[in-house]
Structure 1
């Protein structure tokens, strides 16, 4: 029997790669089942994800407070303090909008007239008259009115569905709050109970893998929060210096957009640029756009490496592909959770795998053309 043949007569490389192919098929089936199951209980998954994010952000605060008081009381104080911060932020934004509303309406009207004059008599190779713009708007309004009149029944049903969606949102928030309280107050006990349900030989390795995953997830959540706050503060300073109205609400929009990888913060800042153009001048718009580029450079080259460090070590190509795939699979929610899921998966895999010594350079390969190819 040939040395490279298996006992059943098959070449050894066929058995090796065949076994690997079956393992790969099994992994794909498991991943597909996880994605399918998650899609079926998407709302529950979102609630658990939100609870984990909030718990990872507040866990250090709760741990510090728990040194001087019972942990349940520390959990309550941390959650109550975070609610006060969020409520204060929204109160400030609403009051800012109310105080600037009259001035903003006048500036918007003047800015829109400036834009219309620029389109009609500006240096562009084409001209769009105000009459054409008004005619297009009136035509769109007429079409919308006709559509509403012809589809009133369907629209009423959609309104009822949206009312049900609001109830679902409140249910998700309530479940997320309930889980967050238990994760912060009894998280370690819950995890110890889970480990005790496993065979003794698997407990230590499972705990090591889970610890690596939690370290990466919590680092990503806290790092994203810090970067989002920094983006919001820099946006507020920039918009305030330029004199763009509603600087505080736009800065909050930038803060929220920072949680959407790659596109969130730039999209929010572009909206701020449009507001600067409509309520100010072209110069304000250019300054805001240049400020957007500068903030993006500061975030990408200073904040992200400094805050995230080694906790989330994903190549930009992986980030781009992951966000795109997550968007196709789950829309906006998929885009938000794609990066932490990929980062945690890679961290867990890195914790349980056995790494061979790395190569310092690519090996030299003597590529020869097979004899059959020459013929």
Structure 2
């Protein structure tokens, strides 16, 4: 090859490369099959990566679940915290007021619910026993003509099924813990992470972006900020929707004379943060209490109230308030919540929608390369700071 012209040498290597590529691709394999195979092994790699991430999360569940809870709570209280900072409150005082106010609101709701339950539990229990006995007698004397043994067997099977489903939810792979110590540790860790995020969330994020290569920092920074805005939008919307659901269903139960109206409202408020599952369970509980205590007619009215509030939520509140920032198709929401419940129990169902919304926005942001229009001020300042000393050294 010595003494040959550079153009001849380049054409030689081009021919050699084409021959190598053509020899690797067997002419007997159809192009469609080669393309499908290329997609398949890439999908397998992605699935393996997701599996590894899920396995790591399961192993570190006592750390991951408090972290996710703290992030979600931070998104919930961030508007109030930002409001205090904009009005020139000291940061430490804004943190104290925000955290203590959140704890006071949650504790007050739980105390109010427990107080109402302890006051009316006796009468509700007696009416429930009477209603169950009447329904049992109706099954025996009514048109079905069931025997007592058949009723007992059906109740036993229903109880076993409910117990199995409850065990699946409570003992999910991402359950907070099975002991009181695990729960206490998770609460303390959640509170500590919440304080750190409120005190220095921007600094934590800047440190996180520096873990990536310098070239990728603008994309990571822009995608993370877009995802965080999405989580905050989701949290604010869910908070408002949960409040409206709780007030609507709780007020309906109060006007219909259904007992435990306040606990029903509190449960509806808390259950609204688990899409579909929480609404169905809390609505069914309200209708059941109305049925056993007030009779079928009031239970029918209670069902109409529950369905009416949920229809207003799903067809008016969610599309208007959620907007395009958290646009996830309802079918995707159902599948994601079901998958999260199967993998992680109640925490999995709770975090399924905000995580899917975050991933959706980040993926769209990266695919459209929107960070090129955002500027990435943090990373630009970082690059300028790193180049100034070298320039000064050259001048000296």
User: Which TM-score bucket, shorter chain as reference?
Assistant: 0.7 to 0.9
Is the Cα contact below 8 Å between 1:277 and 1:285 reproduced in 2?
A: yes
- The CA distance in 1 between the partners of 2:220 and 2:261, in whole Å, is 48
Cα shift at 1:276: 0.9
Change in 2 beyond 3 A, CA 1:277/1:200: same
Count, aligned residues: 328
Matching of residue 313 in structure 1 with residue 333 in structure 2: no
Deviates most, 190-199 or 62-71: 190-199
1:28 aligns with 47
Cα shift at 1:100: 2.8
Alignment of 1:104-183 (within 5 A): 104-122=124-142, 125-128=143-146, 132=148, 136=152, 165-183=179-197
1:272 aligns with 286
Is the Cα contact below 8 Å between 1:112 and 1:279 reproduced in 2?
A: no
Is the Cα contact below 8 Å between 1:93 and 1:248 reproduced in 2?
A: yes
Deviates most, 17-26 or 170-179: 17-26
Residue deviations 1:2-28, cap 9 Å, x none?
A: 9xx775213795876655444333322
Relative to the length of structure 2, the TM-score reads: 0.75
Cα shift at 1:242: 1.1
Cα shift at 1:331: 2.2
1:74 aligns with 94
Matching of residue 239 in structure 1 with residue 258 in structure 2: no
1:361 aligns with none
Is the Cα contact below 8 Å between 1:244 and 1:276 reproduced in 2?
A: yes
Matching of residue 333 in structure 1 with residue 347 in structure 2: yes
1:143 aligns with none
Cα shift at 1:303: 1.4
Is the Cα contact below 8 Å between 2:177 and 2:183 reproduced in 1?
A: no
- The CA distance in 1 between the partners of 2:368 and 2:19, in whole Å, is 26
Cα shift at 1:171: 0.6
Deviates most, 174-183 or 251-260: 251-260
Change in 2 beyond 3 A, CA 1:76/1:112: same
Give the unaligned 5+ runs of structure 1.
141-161, 356-375
Deviates most, 31-40 or 94-103: 94-103
Matching of residue 93 in structure 1 with residue 113 in structure 2: yes
Is the Cα contact below 8 Å between 2:62 and 2:177 reproduced in 1?
A: no
2:21 aligns with 8
2:164 aligns with none
RMSD: 3.0
Alignment counterpart, residue 324 of structure 1, candidates 316, 338, 351: 338
Give the unaligned 5+ runs of structure 2.
1-13, 157-175, 370-396
2:314 aligns with 300
- The CA distance in 1 between the partners of 2:268 and 2:187, in whole Å, is 23
SS of alignment partner, residue 353 of structure 1: helix
Alignment counterpart, residue 344 of structure 1, candidates 336, 358, 381: 358
Residue deviations 1:35-58, cap 9 Å, x none?
A: 111111112111001000110011
2:83 aligns with 64
Change in 2 beyond 3 A, CA 1:264/1:82: same
Alignment counterpart, residue 211 of structure 1, candidates 208, 225, 230: 225
- The CA distance in 2 between the partners of 1:101 and 1:203, in whole Å, is 57
1:155 aligns with none
Is the Cα contact below 8 Å between 1:254 and 1:269 reproduced in 2?
A: yes
- The CA distance in 2 between the partners of 1:163 and 1:200, in whole Å, is 39
- The CA distance in 2 between the partners of 1:195 and 1:341, in whole Å, is 19
Residue deviations 1:348-373, cap 9 Å, x none?
A: 11001138xxxxxxxxxxxxxxxxxx
SS of alignment partner, residue 66 of structure 1: helix
Between the two structures, name the one with larger relative contact order (CA 8 Å, sep ≥ 6): 2
- The CA distance in 1 between the partners of 2:82 and 2:294, in whole Å, is 48
Alignment of 1:180-259 (within 5 A): 180-259=194-273
1:368 aligns with none
